[in-house]
Structure 1
């Protein structure tokens, strides 16, 4: 699934500063995907709507609604994202790409249908004071976002990086323009309508690109649900990872002294939300390194190593490929840590200016600093998990993803009891403990790589 990374390396081979900047710019945008780009869009819509949308609380209601759409869709589709990625990779390896597109259609239909069916009774009974338009947009938005997360499975496997960036640009430009267009007549519902329509256009662009790359005589299939087609361990890992990344936010939203009701049953935390979402903007450089270093340099020697094992190459050649692979694992993780450290230091230096420019009190600075460190560690964790996926260490992945929500709940609960000075440390400590455990596990797996590889043949 690293096809796009190899295409980006062609820009690096130019050995020019423009090629370098282009490669990492494309990598940062694509690897960050809808999650980080949507944060930017939501913040811009909110900033540009101040003084136009009345009452002012309507802007907060829009932002909180969209946040919950992300939360629910990410956690619910987390059950299938990783397992479907593995299904696509297995079908590609088996040269059976004709089965990918119909199963994608089947999964999209199932994910959108279930999310909308389950959401309908919820919005009908839990939002009695909201308009019918708001309830319908909530249901539609949940279905669209669920489909987008599934479609992102294909992004790193495609080679048309310029088309992907163009689709992102058009989708989020449409989101911003439509939200600002409808805000004056429909208020908060207008902002939400623009968001849903913009992301629908983004989804259509992604589907168009997928249809350009995959072809089949069948339109729809459900082969992924046959026994053995989808790995249960990956379904569990996907669910636990997304839950682990969000559980601290949920705790702050519904803890009496830090959360407050915003719209219907949806709570938010003024003291916690702005810093944590701003901190996620700092992961773009690390995600770019992740795509270029892990998804290309490591994968290149990963393929050579296992090809050498399967084809009966000499022991000396196999060991050299293994050493190259380990070197690029270490280099990739080090580069991610290095670039995220730079991002953390820049935030430390310019955080006050950033908050003032956004009209946010500098009292949030300590929390922003801690959250930026936590977000940086999350990128490192993604790198570790990705390598373990390639090595087919699914038990280790489940262990780490189970550790994340447990530690996040425990440490966040402690921080809530200790008071405002400790807010954010629960999230950062959970990431730190999980990353350190992941490094230890990965190091042990790499030490016995040849032994386990040959024993499993």
Structure 2
């Protein structure tokens, strides 16, 4: 589905600084734009609302509600994102474009019903807030669950100027709506959030329907066991659970959190540094997408075209070596760019926190989180390579290991005290990345054997 690779190669072919910068800007915004812009927009809404939404506690309740909406929607749909992406990718490879739209509408229908039922049960039995609050939370939850599935198509579409304009328009609608509705309290802010994400969902959905015309409305071919890979459901679930499990541990530990609204808790100590740290990965994500979807994807395509075309073993080995070199160079470039970003933020972190009126006591945890989210970019790159090579079980093992390590090490950090907060998340990612590098090296060494001898 990586249509973005063709566009990036076309831009980079001009071979000048302007085109290179343009390619990296495109890649950064497409890869991390939806959720980074969402974080920025929500934080901006919170800042704008202080002093207008009375009392200010309501602003915090809004921000915590949004955080739980993001976490729960990503965990619920994480497995389905990978599962459905692979289904669509295979249909595109088969030139069955007519199957894309009906199955997308089918999976959206399934997600809408599932998230609607689960959200309703949780809001009825766990919350005693106003009906309007619960209705808006439910609407936002269902919208986000659908949006995450629609967003997976963005890298396969080539109308990048339109995509960026839609993102800008959607989040601008969110912020502007909040500006006018903040006097309505938290319900007004939740309505603004719903407006912004609904604009993104329906405009992107319209573009997808136009890109992939079909003669059927709804289909459920993605439920056919012969056309899908169930391991991807677990991989996506474990990956997203691994990202959030340390936050949940801090949220539901009474010593590190407090009750904010309904059953929702938040950790003043832990939350702010890690969410600020996530804004630092845009450069690394841009490099990740450019290098994986240009150099690596090109050599990967050449290699397996040669395999399918019956080329000589010597030629295939030469292509494999070039592909391996592109992986190594891509990972090195990600480390260089993200390392430089971390170094600059280490130097300017005290000034940044001071300008944001954030206590300097957050600095140690912010430094640890910066390293952790930077390693996460490397981990994501490794997983992406495994998906290209169809090493689904390896990706599943790494994501399961991530959940296990992040859980155990975060619990250990709570026992060791505040000086060790954040190390569970960071060390678990370091270990998983090192294991991933080792497994990738082994997989590449045996690639020819597995390609020719283990095919069924």
The TM tier, using the shorter chain, reads: over 0.9
Q: CA deviation at 1:350?
A: 1.1
Tell me what 1:373 maps to. 371
Describe how 1:222-261 pairs up with structure 2 within 5 A.
222-261=220-259
Q: How many pairs were matched up? A: 455
Say whether 1:282 aligns with 2:288: no
CA contact under 8 A between 1:243 and 1:405: conserved in structure 2?
yes
The match for 1:426 is 424
State the partner residue of 1:170.
169
Q: Is the 8 A contact 1:244 1:401 kept in 2?
A: yes
Deviations 1:341-392 (A, max 9, x none): 1111111011111111211101101100000110001110000000000111
**C-alpha deviation, 1:102, in angstroms:** 0.3
Output the CA distance in 2 between the equivalents of 1:296 and 1:68: 35
**Structure 2 residue matching 1:217: 3-state secondary structure:** coil
Aligned residues of 2:79 and 2:237 also touching (Cα < 8 A):
yes
Query: Alpha carbon RMSD of aligned pairs, Å?
Result: 1.0
Tell me the CA shift for residue 258 of structure 1. 0.6
Measured in 2, the distance between the counterparts of 1:419 and 1:163 equals 48
- Give 1:43's aligned residue: 43
> SS at 1:228's partner residue?
helix
Instruction: Give the Cα separation in 2 of the matches to 1:51 and 1:271.
Output: 23
Alignment partner, residue 449 of structure 2: 451
2:20 aligned with 1:57: no
How much does 1:34 deviate? 1.9
Which secondary structure does the structure 1 equivalent of 2:270 belong to?
Answer: helix
Counterpart CA distance in 2 for 1:220 and 1:290 is 35
- Quote the offset at 1:79 in angstroms: 2.2
Distance 1:63 1:100 in 2: 36
Q: Structure 1 residue 344 and structure 2 residue 345: aligned?
A: no
1:311-333 CA-to-partner distances (Å, cap 9, x unmatched) read 11122321221111101111111
Report how far residue 212 of structure 1 moved: 2.1
1:373-423 per-residue CA deviation (whole Å, 9 max, x = no partner) reads 100011100000000001111111111010001000111011111111111
Partners in 2 of 1:112 and 1:342 — Cα distance? 42
State the partner residue of 1:325.
323
Partner residue of 2:138? 139
2:111 paired residue number? 111
CA distance in 2 between partners of 1:229 and 1:292 (Å): 30
Q: Which moved more, 1:25-34 or 1:138-147?
A: 25-34
The alpha carbon displacement at 1:157 in A equals 1.2
**Structure 1 residue 392 corresponds to structure 2 residue 393:** no
Question: How big is the shift at 1:18?
Answer: 2.0
Equivalent residues of 2:5, 2:297 under 8 A apart? no
Alignment match, 1:85: 85
How far 1:8 sits from its partner (Å)? Answer: 2.0
Q: CA deviation at 1:118?
A: 1.6
Q: Tell me the CA shift for residue 154 of structure 1.
A: 0.8
Q: What's the counterpart of residue 196 of structure 1? A: 194
What pairs with 1:7-22 in structure 2 (closer than 5 Å)? 7-22=7-22
CA distance in 1, matches of 2:387, 2:346: 33
In the alignment, structure 1 residue 269 sits paired with structure 2 residue 267: yes
Q: Which runs of 5+ in 1 are unaligned?
A: none
Name whichever of 31-40 and 246-255 sits farther off. Answer: 31-40
Mapped partners of 2:133, 2:333: distance in 1: 44
The 8 Å contact of residues 2 and 296 in structure 1, kept in 2 or not, is answered as: no
Corresponding residue for residue 31 of structure 1: 31
Are the aligned partners of 2:97 and 2:212 in contact in 1 as well (CA < 8 Å)?
Answer: yes
User: What whole-Å deviation, never above 9, does each CA across 1:219-264 have from its counterpart, x for those lacking one?
Assistant: 1001111122221110010000000010000001011111111110
Post-superposition CA distance 1:60-90 (Å, at most 9, x none)? 1111111111111101101211011100110
Q: Secondary structure at the match of 2:54?
A: coil
TM-score relative to the length of structure 1? 0.98
CA distance in 2, matches of 1:239, 1:248: 15
Distance 2:210 2:270 in 1: 42
2:180 corresponds to: 181
Task: Tell me whether 1:440 sits opposite 2:438 in the alignment.
Answer: yes
**Bigger shift: 259-268 or 48-57?**
48-57
Deviation, structure 1 residue 205: 1.4
SS of the equivalent of 1:452 reads helix
Q: CA deviation at 1:47?
A: 1.3
What do the CA deviations read for 1:198-226 (whole angstroms, capped 9, x no partner)?
10001011101211211110010011111
